[in-house]
Amino acid sequence: MKKYYFTKLSDKKKKELIKRKAISSDSVKKTVEKICSDVKRNGLKSAIKYANKFDGFSSDNVYVTEKEFSEAEKLLSSEIKSAVKSAYKNIYKFHAKQYPKDYFIETINGVKCGRKFLPIENVGVYIPAGTAPLPSTMLMLGVPSQIAGCKRIVVFSPAKDKINPAILYAAKLCGIKEFIKIGGAQGISLLAYGSDNFKKVDKIFGPGNQFVTTAKSVVSIDPDGCAIDMIAGPSELLVIADNFANPDFVAADLLSQAEHGKDSMVILLTASEDLIRKVGDSLNQQLKNLPRKVFAKATIESSFCMLVDDVNDAFNFSNTFAPEHLILNLKNAKKYLNKVVNAGSVFIGEYTPESAGDYASGTNHSLPTFGFARSSSGVGVEMFMKGVTFQSINKKGIKSLSKTIITLAETESLQAHAEAVKVRLK
């Protein structure tokens, strides 16, 4: 890891360290726009063509069959099924508390206003299948959509022939009945535009590579497309640790994110130079035993640690960076929670690894990256719903509001607005 001294950094250098890499190039955008346009015109036929070209798709059926769902369960060990079930229960328990409550109030006599939360009817869930199968992502997106009560939840994931059985098992727990073996930009396009034999969705959820992310961006600004959850970039982890932290714990946490891929970013902030040295030694040792050490090593080499004067400097940098994941490996870590302003998800104390949130603690691991944690939240039940407002006004109420409405309408030179009230007063 590169090493920096916070007090020696210029403002320009700090901005450079906070800046993320672009996730899409002109060539990627050009390729994606061509795919989106083709699928928009020709539907499922074109999507299958690209799935064959990019993913080697060769299945007889583009849909996962009931038989495949059943076979997937038989292929899994009892240990894996138990782990998936346990994670499902915790994720469900946490997300069930998020279900928003409807409310109605009387703002003034004769004027009643309310807000009712309704599920989005048709949602698409994208599950990547690049360097590793991700049943956890199936749970993180399937559970909140299930709790929200979405009528139709369709899952897309790339495959040559069969979908990973753990993903299918997780999907079945989430009540998924519609699962399509197409991924990439072609999958996103089909979700957004639909086809003669496939109904489009209203909103797409899920992470992916630069082609998937670019496709989500393209369809989200097309009037014929659909909404998306967020623009998701490479995984991020920032650790704030003190001299009480176990260096092996810190190193393990950094590696847990580093192994996602070479585009991931991990950062260590501490006031202890001794901890930096020990963490470096531990990283080298732990790397030797990782099956995905090529990915992890590339990430570690492009990431950095920073020596700060105190914890305040660490939080100032962290809040500006706005990490996807923030670990507080500090003595009495809970007392620092009020210093957290911008972060996707926070992991408090030495026995709270980021991987707990990735899999089974209950919180969601679909979180804002690219610094969007300054203004956005991670995936939750409310993202699969929309709030509809209602108002009911009786004769007494419109009379009470009339002067205010008419004055404001005439101030804005919108006379018809004013007349819509005046006609009711005659």
The catalytic site residues sit at 324-325
Contacts of 275 (CB under 8 A, 6+ apart): 241, 242, 243, 245, 247, 250
- 202, 16 contact by CB (below 8 A): no
- 5, 306 contact by CB (below 8 A): yes
First and final C-alpha spacing in the chain: 76
Token code pair at residue 412: 């804005």
Q: Which amino acid is at 399?
A: K
Longest CA pairwise span in the chain (Å):
84
Distance of CA 195 to the CA centre of its chain: 27
Q: What is the DSSP letter of 322?
A: -
* Rounded Cα distance, 351 and 87, in Å: 18
- 228, 191 contact by CB (below 8 A): no
Contacts of 301 (CB under 8 A, 6+ apart): 1
Q: Where are the alpha helices (DSSP H) in 322-378?
A: 354-359
